[in-house]
A and B are shown apart, each in its own frame.
Chain A
Amino acid sequence: MFKLEKSDLSLLIIVAVLTLFAPFILNPFPADSAMSQFNAGYPDLMQRFVIFGIFAVGFNILFGLTGYLSFGHAAFLGVGSYAAIWMMKLLTMNVIPAIVASVVVAGLISFLVGWISLRRSGIYFSILTLAFAMMMYQLAYSDLFGQLFGGILTGGETGLQPKVADPRILDAPLDPGANPKAHLFGLEMGSSFKLDIAGWQFTFNAGYYIAAFAMLCAFYLSIRIFRSPFGMMLRAVKSNQQRMNYTGLNSKPYTLAAFVISGMYAGLAGGLLVAMDTQVGAERMFWTASGEVVIMTILGGVGSLIGPVLGAGVLKYMENILSKINKGVLETWFSFMPDGMSDFFIAITNLFVGKQWHITTGVIFMLVVIYLPGGLVEGGRRLGNRFQRSGKERQNHTKPAE
């Protein structure tokens, strides 16, 4: 089915089932329990999981297969976002043109950036992409092009969002005072269906399922690329460019194609971010955002199929859940302890949560890189092997010697 090998197909099905039932899986705790703050099954966060999953899956096509470490991929995400918002301002609030434009424009820009940056490899390539990304961030933040032509292109510091007065030539004019809302042929991205079972509340959000569908398509595409002759050539680039060039293969168009494909994935993610939350600012192009996707990919497992999605999920979970735990929450957690002791534990724990969630991320990242160089995927594989081995040993024990 889908022209996939059996193991890849089962992986795709597992991912599809997990994303389909994510509102249940990510909401294991009843709504009014103390643990409910660890629930991640609310639309905003679930959307981020799948959107950044797309971003990381695309990044992995470049970094995981060719080994070229781009440090400027957030720029393409930002470009996609701006393209999408302009579609919403000029054409329609329907998300389809916005998403198509985000992919196309990000593809064009990444072609230009890749064309120049791929003249160098290794650290020089990384620095070139970083330089491009920071230039693009600065252009967006100061809206230089808008100023040059006496208009607005990126909206500078305030960013852009659809306004009632925008032309939107395909849509009927909105009532003054109404809010333009992103939709897919009338189905609003923000619309949700809430299901109450006992103490639990599950939210099924239209926007999430649309983004999840896009993620599954992107994931499927990446499996096909990984298994194709093209994907094999990309791995050859990483393995030995010298041998590749002396085998009659031109490595430049291969790496450029990988760069553009991953730029288009980033654009798709940027477009979806706008579709879910119709606003964009330059900060999503900042270099830390580019670093984030590198961390996601490495955390999950560079060069593996599912790793980047896992990494994106873990990082976004920590960003959104750990950062919400403040001192007040900690006080309720440790209230059962004697006063002095609880103060001590609160002070220690407070270092790793709330605004300091980056410290926890840093520690986890360090542990993964040192002990699991293949990322979380390798961790899973090792666990799996251990279980299999112990299972086999038990079998061997029960078998009498012949």
Chain B
Amino acid sequence: MGILEVKNVGKRFGGLQALSEVNLSIKENSVHAIIGPNGAGKSTLLNCLVGKLIPDTGSVMFDGRSVLGRAPFEINQMGISRVFQTPEIFGDLSVLENMMIPCFAKRDGAFEMNAFSDVMSQKDVLEKAEHMLEEMNMADKRHMHSASLSRGDKRRLEIGMCLSQEPRLLLLDEPTAGMARADTNNTIDLLKQIAADRDITIAIIEHDMHVVFSLANRITVLAQGTPLVEDDPENIRGNPKVREAYLGESA
């Protein structure tokens, strides 16, 4: 029994069957990659997991509880954090403030009318945020306006923000899309380290095979809205069905 169990999930947009009969089980503490050609339904599937979309059929269970019908913030409070394809951070706020917000969310829950205490007097949150910034190698940038960070730093910040919530499952949507090679390798190293150091499950949607094969210990290939194969990386590499799905029949 995995930490995330997807059963028979289907989703239709008008005439397009984006997902059909998706079954997926993500094991605790694994790094599970979901790959597939463009239009395979990877992003739709991800959106069904985090509450952005509600599937037409099937069930999604996280740690034995259904996530369907819950708002994104509720699902997040259950322990699923999401990293977006383009880094989503609080651009108007400083790097430190960016890091403090998830710490508050972890400590105080979805809503807390904490209007009369000074932010800077919240020592526990402040310490945790500073600590996480150090871990992300961003301590020297703590007072920077986060919108002026580089793409790679924004990504690090976003991952750090997700981690400071101590999620059990971290979902990453093409975390290296649009990155230079050096930044991509840094991100891979960071994610490797996270997977090794923490009691965390990582699910990653990715195009870049270099990233997938450096990180994943389990891979699901999605094609035309349905899982084609699920296997270990070594077996995926040589699987003719996968080659066909990616490169067309001529390959």
Contacts and interface: CB of A to CB of B under 8 A. Distances in A.
Interface in B83-110: 84, 88-93, 97, 100-102, 104-106, 108-110
Interface in A222-265: 224-225, 227-233, 235-236, 238-240, 242-251, 253-254, 257
B23 to A, nearest CB: 25
Interface string B134-171: 00000000000000000000000000010001000000
A225 B118 CA distance: 8
Interface string B67-96: 000011100110001101000111111000
Size band of the interface chain A makes with B:
20 to 34
B9 to A, nearest CB: 20
Contacts of A257: 113, 115
A239 B119 contact: no
B105 A243 contact: no
A232 B88 contact: no
Given A232-B100, A238-B92, A240-B91, A245 B71 contact: yes
| Interface core residue of B108, B111, B122 (most chain A CB under 10 Å) | B111
B112 interface: yes
A232 B119 contact: yes
Given A229-B112, A232-B100, A257-B113, A248 B77 contact: yes
A230 B88 contact: no
A393 interface: no
A265 to B, nearest CB: 13
A248 B122 contact: no
B116 interface: yes
Contact of A224 (B97, B109, B113, B115): B115
A139 to B, nearest CB: 31
Contacts of A238: 92
B91 A246 contact: no
B89 A240 contact: yes
A119 interface: no
B114 interface: yes
A77 to B, nearest CB: 22
Given A3-B118, A246-B81, A246-B88, A230 B72 contact: no
Contacts of B4: none
A49 B4 CA distance: 59
B45 to A, nearest CB: 16
A66 B125 CA distance: 22
Contacts, number: 108
A228 B119 contact: yes
Contacts of B97: 232, 235
B89 A246 contact: no
A227 B92 contact: no
B54 interface: no
Contacts of A229: 104, 108, 112, 114, 117, 119, 122, 125
A224 B116 contact: yes
Nearest to B92: A239
Contacts of A239: 90-93
Contact of B73 (A227, A230, A249): A249
Nearest to B91: A239
A233 B104 contact: yes
Given A236-B93, A239-B92, A248 B115 contact: no
A245 B91 contact: no
Nearest to B116: A224
Given A224-B115, A232-B119, A242-B88, A250 B71 contact: yes
B50 interface: yes
Contacts of B88: 240, 242-243, 246
A254 B114 contact: no
Nearest to B89: A243
B142 to A, nearest CB: 15
A244 B71 CA distance: 12
B165 A247 contact: yes
A231 B101 CA distance: 11
A295 B77 CA distance: 40
Contact of A228 (B92, B93, B101, B117): B117
B62 to A, nearest CB: 14
Given A235-B90, A248-B105, 19 more contacts: A3-B121, A229-B112, A229-B114, A235-B92, A236-B93, A236-B101, A239-B92, A239-B93, A242-B84, A243-B161, A246-B50, A246-B72, A246-B88, A248-B76, A248-B106, A249-B110, A254-B111, A257-B113, A257-B115
- The 10 A-B pairs of least Cβ separation, nearest first, read A248-B76, A230-B115, A239-B90, A250-B110, A239-B92, A243-B88, A248-B105, A229-B114, A248-B77, A253-B111
30 contacts: A3-B118, A5-B118, A224-B115, A228-B114, A228-B115, A229-B114, A229-B119, A230-B115, A231-B115, A232-B100, A233-B101, A235-B92, A239-B90, A240-B89, A240-B91, A243-B89, A244-B101, A245-B72, A245-B73, A245-B76, A246-B81, A246-B84, A246-B88, A247-B81, A247-B165, A248-B73, A248-B102, A248-B105, A248-B110, A249-B111
Interface of A: 3, 5, 224-225, 227-233, 235-236, 238-240, 242-251, 253-254, 257
